[in-house]
Each structure stands twice: as structure tokens, then as C-alpha cells.
């Protein structure tokens, strides 16, 4: 070890600033002790579940134990991309640096210089440590030592607070250059995405099934709602057939168009339309009489019979009917069709959804025309800035295959369109990694901050002998280490399963 000097007064710190630092790190002591108690209880809870002592359906333990392992719900699993690895490495460097800086500042405020800084890689991720003279640390009071040991966890928590604050004020800071919460904008579409033939970078999502989408969160929530909606609609399948209706999502089709349509018949479990046509079937309305026309074969087929093949593009701009849409008009029939029209709903395979997606391109010109937001009015059909297409398939496949952001640049150039997304992604990764690092170092595990903090805490058990305190500390650390390793294996197994 190198020669270390005890500085009096603290080098580089004025007395007032030194007192402020001590007050700051004293707050960190209380926070770190609370976190240590919390993670210890979580370890006991997880071990109890693993040993089948009791059972719980709560997902909180899974999330918290994931953080204890250095994971988070955002970066765990096998779907992490190459860009996410870059975000993860950069956020790890920042989080580790802030952690070690906290230890160094706390030690300097107590008059102790660091001996050296070590940088290393742990599972391909960067790590660091700051070494101090152990004898000088032992010479300090227990409260002073706690301030140094708890400073890393405390600074990681402060970094989390800074990231959360930055995410909160980001829309305000970027408001002179970007529009926020006026529709998610497409940044990239995967070539294998089912939306690649319709959406392109720069397009702005306006609505799903007529429901306005303002930001990325609403996009995710709407996809989850539609997924649950279609999963619950499996009982709408036609008897003896694998096809099902689109759960009340109908269109008022004129009888003149139906007369020109092609006719098909249900044969066994197969229903198909030629070319790009889609099968449709009528909804039977109790409060709407069907016209008496012997030449028009349109009826609700419950036992398998004649259907109609229509072009989806021909009916998208027609008036909607049925109770499956987000826009429900009061004091109207459930069919919402006039007497010269019939309410037709698509016939889909099981597990397939029918979703109308409205989007605008280019968003800047549409916003200047003042017509970008016109999606709920009948005039939206004639709006050149609003385009609509139907997605037929698995709703969940839309979310991971398209990259969206809640920000739209106020200029037409594509330069800088990714900046809010990159900044938001970086802040989210830094928040999660810093939180994981704080919780990880709070664990009562060998070679982590939790070991030194636990040693100081057990020292205050003055009613026990020194030997008993050392024994309790060893059992406490050994149990925490074994429990953490066991939970790691269980979590990795669940991720890989």
C-alpha cells in the first residue's frame, strides 16, 4: 500500500462546504440503511418462494429481484438489440463513475485521500472501485465510516432522481424544437414488419380503430387493449368453423355494392376469397329490418352459407357500424346503417385481428393546413393528409417491429428526428442501471458495500460480545451471498425458459 496522509482540515474543502457535504452524506446513511433493510426482506421473501414455504401471485417480487440482479424490466430478456447494448454500456460507465465519486467525495470530506482507482470488466460491462487505507478507515468514528460506505448507494439514488426529473421536463426543454404528445412519429420500420408496406419514417400515427393516439404510451396501451379484446373474442367463432367475426367492427355497405360483389360458400373449415378480397358477413339487427329483395342474397349465416367478398379499400371510407369501434354514437341503432345499406363485419381466422390505422404524412404540411387532427369527423375521409389502412394479423406483432417516438420536429428535415428518442432512451437506461447498482450494493453480500455497512451496524449491538458480533456478521453475509446466488440462477432460468 502507498503512504496515505490524514488531512486536517480537509484538503480542498472550506469548512462550510465540508459541513454541507457531511450533512448530505448523513442523509445518505439513513437512505442506505432503509434500502439494506428492504433488500434483506426481499431476499427472505424470494428464498421463501423458492423453498415453497408459501405461494404468492404478486409480480412485485419478480420485478424487485430482477433489479437486485442488475436487471430491469426494460433491459432484461433476450430481445435486447445492439443499440440497447451501447446504451447499457454508456449508462453503466456513468452509474459506476457516480457511485465511486460518491465514495471519494465522502472520504475527502472526512480527510482521507484515496489510494488508487481500479477499472475492470464484469461480464463484458465496465466496473470500477476506489481504494482507501483500511487502517485510517478503522480510525474514524463509526458514523463517519458509514457516511463513506453509504455514499455510493446514495449517489446512485441521486442519479436516479436526476434522470427522473430530466425525463419529466424533457418535453418542456425540447418544446422550442419539437412537438410533443400530438401523435407518435415513425422513426424506423423493420423490413420484416407487417406494417412495412404502409408506414415509413416520418409518418405520424393518428388513431387505432378511430381512437386518438397522442403518444407512445397510448400506442402501447391501445395494442394491449386490442390484444385482450381479440383474445376474449374466441367464443365468437362460427359454429363448426375456424373463422370468427371482427367483434362488432362493421361497415355500412350499400346494397348496390353488395350486388356487384363476389359470392363464396363455407365449405368445412375453409373460407377463402380470391385475389385481395376479404370475406364479410352481415350483423343481424333487431331494430333494423332488411329490405325485401329476392335478387339480393344477404343474410346472417349462422349455420354456414353465402358470404360476400369485398375489397377492403372500398369499404374503409364507408360509415362504420356495430359496437366494436371506439367511436360509439348515442341514441342510434347498434348497426348505425340506413335502410339502403347493410352492416357487414369481416370474417377472420382465429388469432387474427382487424385494426384500422390512420396516419398522416408529411406531418408538418398537415399541421400547417390545420387538418392533421381531423380524424373523428366525417370530413376526415376527404382529408388528403389522413390516410387509413387495415392491419390484419397478430396485434402484438406491430409493437416490436416499428420504432416510434412521441416527439415530432418542428421542421421538415429529418435531421434531429432521433434526438429526443436517443435522449429519452439514455435517461431511461441510466435510471434503471443506477437503480440496479444501488440495490445491488445494498445487498448483504461479500465484497460489496453491503458488507461494510452491515459490519458497522452489527458493531452497535453492544449487548453482544465481540466474538458473537463477528459470528452474526459472518452468518448474515454468508446467508445473503448464498441467497443472492440462488436467486440469480432462478432468475436466469426464468429468463431463458
Give the torsion sign (CA, 229, 235, 238, 241). positive
- Where do runs of H (alpha helix) occur along 303-418? 312-315, 363-369, 398-401
* Residue scoring higher pLDDT (167 or 10): 167
* Residue scoring higher pLDDT (357 or 333): 357
pLDDT for 335: 61
Place 47 in a pLDDT band, splitting at 50, 70 and 90: confident
Find the mean pLDDT for residues 250-263: 74
Task: Cell numbers for 181, please give them.
Answer: 404528445
Place 350 in a pLDDT band, splitting at 50, 70 and 90: low
Residues 6+ apart with CB under 8 A from 308: 258, 261, 262, 263, 264, 279, 280, 281, 298, 344
* Residue scoring higher pLDDT (91 or 8): 91
Place 156 in a pLDDT band, splitting at 50, 70 and 90: very high
Query: Minimum mean pLDDT among 34-48, 108-122, 324-338: which range?
Result: 324-338
Task: Cell numbers for 374, please give them.
Answer: 381531423
Q: Whose grid coordinates read 467525495?
A: 105
Highest mean pLDDT among 278-292, 303-317, 365-379: 303-317
pLDDT for 379: 42
pLDDT for 53: 53
Per-residue pLDDT at 29 exceeds 90: yes
Contact predicate 441/152, CB 8 Å: yes
Query: Minimum mean pLDDT among 109-123, 138-152, 323-337: which range?
Result: 323-337
pLDDT for 153: 95
Residues classed as catalytic? 100
- Report helix, strand or coil for 400: helix
Task: Give kind and range of the element (H or E) at residue 342.
Answer: strand 341-349
Highest mean pLDDT among 235-239, 392-396, 493-497: 392-396
Place 250 in a pLDDT band, splitting at 50, 70 and 90: confident
Per-residue pLDDT at 152 exceeds 80: yes
Per-residue pLDDT at 271 exceeds 80: no
pLDDT for 351: 66
Output 20-27 pairs: Cβ under 8 A, ≥24 positions apart. 21/105, 21/106, 21/109, 22/109, 22/147, 25/105, 25/106, 25/109, 25/147, 25/148, 25/150, 25/151, 25/154, 26/143, 26/147, 27/154
Whether the link from the prior residue into 411 is cis, omega within 30° of 0, is no
Average pLDDT, the chain: 75
- Give residue 352's Cα distance to chain centre: 24
Place 290 in a pLDDT band, splitting at 50, 70 and 90: very low
pLDDT for 132: 72
pLDDT for 245: 55
Residues 6+ apart with CB under 8 A from 483: 43, 44, 46, 47
Per-residue pLDDT at 183 exceeds 80: yes
Q: What is the pTM of this model?
A: 0.75
Percent of the chain beyond pLDDT 90? 25
**pLDDT tens by residue, 76-127:** 444 567 788 889 889 999 999 999 999 989 988 888 877 767 766 665 566 6
Per-residue pLDDT at 485 exceeds 60: yes
pLDDT for 115: 73
Find the mean pLDDT for residues 335-346: 78
Find the mean pLDDT for residues 452-464: 88
Per-residue pLDDT at 240 exceeds 60: no
pLDDT for 2: 39
pLDDT for 56: 46
* Residue scoring higher pLDDT (382 or 409): 409
Residues 6+ apart with CB under 8 A from 491: 65, 66, 69, 71
Find the mean pLDDT for residues 150-177: 95
Place 338 in a pLDDT band, splitting at 50, 70 and 90: confident
Highest mean pLDDT among 41-50, 345-354, 425-434: 425-434
Task: Give kind and range of the element (H or E) at residue 15.
Answer: helix 15-50
Amino acid at each position: 500500500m502507498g503512504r496515505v496522509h490524514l488531512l486536517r482540515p480537509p484538503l480542498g474543502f472550506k469548512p462550510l462546504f465540508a459541513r454541507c457535504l457531511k450533512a448530505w452524506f448523513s442523509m445518505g446513511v439513513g437512505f442506505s440503511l432503509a434500502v439494506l433493510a428492504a433488500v434483506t426482506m426481499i431476499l427472505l421473501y424470494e428464498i421463501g418462494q423458492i423453498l415453497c414455504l408459501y405461494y404468492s401471485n404478486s409480480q412485485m417480487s419478480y420485478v424487485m429481484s430482477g433489479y437486485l440482479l442488475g436487471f430491469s424490466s426494460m433491459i432484461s430478456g433476450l430481445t435486447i438489440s445492439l443499440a440497447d447494448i451501447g446504451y447499457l454500456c454508456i449508462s453503466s460507465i456513468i452509474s459506476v463513475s457516480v457511485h465511486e465519486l460518491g465514495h471519494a467525495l465522502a472520504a475527502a470530506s472526512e480527510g482521507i485521500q484515496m489510494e488508487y482507482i481500479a477499472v475492470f470488466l464484469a461480464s463484458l460491462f465496465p466496473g470500477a472501485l476506489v481504494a482507501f487505507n483500511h487502517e485510517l478507515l478503522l480510525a474514524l468514528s463509526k458514523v463517519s465510516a458509514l457516511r463513506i460506505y453509504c455514499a455510493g448507494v446514495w449517489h446512485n439514488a441521486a442519479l436516479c432522481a436526476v434522470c427522473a426529473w430530466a425525463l419529466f421536463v424533457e418535453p418542456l426543454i425540447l418544446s422550442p424544437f419539437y412537438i410533443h404528445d400530438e401523435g407518435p412519429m415513425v422513426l424506423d420500420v423493420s423490413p420484416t414488419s407487417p406494417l412495412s408496406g404502409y408506414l415509413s419514417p416520418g409518418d405520424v400515427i393518428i388513431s387505432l380503430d378511430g381512437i386518438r393516439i397522442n403518444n407512445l404510451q397510448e400506442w402501447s396501451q391501445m395494442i394491449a387493449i386490442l390484444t385482450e379484446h381479440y383474445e376474449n373474442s374466441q367464443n365468437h367463432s362460427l359454429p363448426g368453423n375456424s373463422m370468427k367475426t371482427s367483434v362488432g367492427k362493421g361497415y355500412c355497405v350499400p346494397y348496390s355494392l353488395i350486388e356487384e360483389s363476389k359470392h363464396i360458400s363455407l365449405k368445412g373449415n375453409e373460407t377463402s376469397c380470391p385475389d385481395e378480397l376479404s370475406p364479410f358477413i352481415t350483423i343481424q339487427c333487431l331494430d333494423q329490418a332488411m329490405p325485401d329483395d329476392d335478387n339480393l342474397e344477404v343474410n346472417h349465416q349462422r349455420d354456414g352459407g353465402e358470404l360476400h367478398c369485398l375489397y377492403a379499400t372500398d369499404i374503409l371510407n364507408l360509415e362504420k357500424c356495430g359496437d366494436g369501434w371506439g367511436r360509439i354514437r348515442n341514441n342510434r341503432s347498434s348497426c348505425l346503417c340506413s335502410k339502403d345499406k347493410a352492416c357487414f363485419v369481416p370474417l377472420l381466422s382465429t388469432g387474427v385481428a382487424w385494426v384500422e390505422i390512420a396516419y398522416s404524412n408529411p406531418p408538418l404540411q398537415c399541421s400547417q393546413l390545420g387538418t392533421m387532427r381531423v380524424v373523428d369527423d366525417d370530413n376526415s375521409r376527404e382529408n388528403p393528409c389522413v390516410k387509413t389502412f387495415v392491419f390484419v394479423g397478430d396485434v402484438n406483432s406491430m409493437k416490436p417491429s416499428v420504432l416510434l417516438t412521441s416527439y415530432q420536429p418542428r421542421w421538415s428535415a429529418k435531421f434531429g428526428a432521433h434526438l429526443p428518442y436517443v435522449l429519452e432512451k439514455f435517461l431511461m437506461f441510466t435510471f434503471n442501471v443506477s437503480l440496479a447498482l444501488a440495490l445491488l450494493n445494498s445487498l448483504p453480500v461479500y465484497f460489496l458495500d453491503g458488507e461494510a455497512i452491515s459490519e458497522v451496524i452489527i458493531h452497535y449491538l453492544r449487548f453482544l460480545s465481540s466474538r458473537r458480533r463477528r459470528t452474526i456478521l459472518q452468518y448474515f453475509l454468508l446467508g445473503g451471498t448464498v441467497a443472492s446466488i440462488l436467486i440469480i440462477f432462478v432468475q436466469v432460468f426464468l429468463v431463458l425458459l
